[in-house]
Structure 1
Amino acid sequence: MPTYHIEMMEGRTIEQKKKLVAEITRVTVEVLGGSPDSVDILITDVKRENWATGGVLWTEPRS
């Protein structure tokens, strides 16, 4: 079964992460079959200072 790698900016609560992984696991089993125990999810929290979009760090003002 799959291993999901999720990178997102830090700041989500444990409760939000629990809901996210539960839903990803549920949908994976629904679509692909198998057991929930075979779905792995790794979450990496990234500081805003280490993330850029459109050449601008997320710690900088956005227009």
Structure 2
Amino acid sequence: MPYVNIRITPGATQAQKEELIAGTTELLAKVLNKNPASTFVVIDEVEREHWGVGGQSLAARDKA
């Protein structure tokens, strides 16, 4: 029973999220022979203020 957590910043459309879910499920079935019916894919949207890289939040980098 695979569980995949995808974290992205806001902005993806519902259609893009559906494609991520379907594609991730398909990849696990193809590569690891996992049952799609028991594969869980969760997408978390993390605000840019809460996501940091290089010592700064993405929001702060956007402003620079």
Matches within 5 A, 1:51-62: 51-61=51-61
Residue by residue, what CA displacement relative to the aligned partner does 1:1-59 show, whole Å, maximum 9, x if unpaired?
21001111111111101111111101101112132111101111000011110001111
Q: Which has the higher helix share?
A: 2
TM-score using structure 2 length: 0.86
User: Which structure 2 residue ranges, 5 or more long, are not aligned?
Assistant: none
Task: Give the TM-score normalised by structure 1.
Answer: 0.87
Query: How far apart are 1:61 and its partner, in Å?
Result: 3.3
Matches of 1:34 and 1:12, distance apart in 2: 26
Pairwise CA RMSD: 1.4
Matched positions, count: 63
Q: Which runs of 5+ in 1 are unaligned?
A: none
The percentage of aligned residue pairs carrying the same residue is: 33
Q: What is the letter of the counterpart of residue 58 of structure 1?
A: L
